[in-house]
Amino acid sequence: MRSQLEVAYAMCRGIARTAAKNFYYGFLVLPREKRDALSAVYAFMRHADDISDDPTLTFEQKRAKLSNWLEHARVVFAGNSTDDPVLFALADAQRRFKIPPERFEQLVYGTAMDIAPAEEGHAPGLEYRTFDELYQYCYHVASVVGLVCIRIFGYRDPRAETLAEKVGVAFQLTNILRDVKEDALLGRVYLPVEDLQRFGRSPAELSPAALANGFDAAPFRGVMEFEAQRAREFYKAADELMPLIDDDGQPALWTLVTIYKRLLEKIALKQYDVFSERVQLSVPEKLMILTKGFVRRIA
């Protein structure tokens, strides 16, 4: 009979396999123990994201549920028992890989950043005035994930932390470019206002009403190329980070970076038209990258 911990990790792997469209491919080239730990981290984040994106909940309900989820995690991290399989597995991973508990507080805080302004009724919803403001958002929702990941991948040189922060920003900027339309329909504009204005655009042009009336992507090509180039600069940190990661963690980092960089370049090849259809890598494209990741693992 499988132990309670084995069952808990199996549930987390199922969540990651179902929901982590790009992230999961990086898991597959890790040794089992590290793959399980990342699955538990992802399942924890997925639950927080599901709360923030639930259209049936009010602003107050979302905040209360996120607070409750985090409080339950704190209790389990302190050594108390739980019937929740995700938290049970997460607490084991947190102890095993010495992940600072405050990282999970930062993750939940980042999730909450997506709901507060939009629910308070600011038009067009959520927006960031400057890139410095956006960077703080990227840090909490992506860089912190990177800092957790490298704990699991393994590293000794503290420089890895600064580099992982930058790679996380690159990933999130890529996500932002891919999801401009979907986010705008939810009243969320992540392209900084100062950058939109630099290219003669405004957040109001990305309102749900504007998108519903037919949309010309061409006027936004300049600002999106500007943000893509910014992401490319942050991706350079991955080259410095790679040799600082333990050998059995490097293939996972390489796989994740390669998938996200390919996604960014595919968006560029589409002339930044993420409005007519969602830009994504096909399963065969991801499997090709995954195969090369496995080769790196056994080389």
**pLDDT value, residue 119:** 41
Query: Which fold would CATH assign to domain 1-101?
Result: Farnesyl Diphosphate Synthase (1.10.600)
The CATH superfamily of 122-299 is Farnesyl Diphosphate Synthase (1.10.600.10)
- DSSP-derived secondary structure letter, 126: E
- Residue whose C-alpha is closest to residue 73's, from 39, 111, 52, 101: 101
Structure tokens at 288: 């090709």
Res 23: pLDDT: 78
DSSP string, 193-207: HHHHHHTT--GGGGS
Contact (Cβ atoms closer than 8 angstroms) between residue 124 and residue 207: yes
Q: Can you tell me the mean pLDDT for 176-205?
A: 93
**Both structure tokens of 193:** 């206002």
DSSP codes of every residue in 152-188: HH-B--THHHHHHHHHHHHHHHHHHHHTHHHHHHTTE
Strands 188-189 and 126-127: parallel
Are 147 and 245 within 8 A, CB to CB? no
pLDDT band at 297 (very low <50, low <70, confident <90, very high): low
pLDDT at 32 over 70: yes
Distance from C-alpha of 91 to C-alpha of 183, rounded to nearest angstrom: 32
Residue bearing the bigger pLDDT, 51 or 212: 51
- Sorted by where each begins, the domain ranges of the chain are 1-101, 122-299
- pTM of the model as a whole: 0.90
Question: What three-state secondary structure class fits 127?
Answer: strand
Mean pLDDT of 29-37: 93
- Quick count: other Cβ atoms within 10 Å of Cβ 104? 23
pLDDT at 299 over 80: no
Q: Are 137 and 190 in contact (CB under 8 A)?
A: yes
Q: Please write the tens of the pLDDT for every residue from 217-259.
A: 889 999 999 999 999 999 999 999 999 999 999 999 999 999 9
pLDDT band at 120 (very low <50, low <70, confident <90, very high): very low
Task: Please work out, in degrees rounded to the nearest 5, the angle formed at the alpha carbon of residue 13 by the alpha carbons of 8 and 15.
Answer: 95
Does 116 score more than 60 pLDDT? no
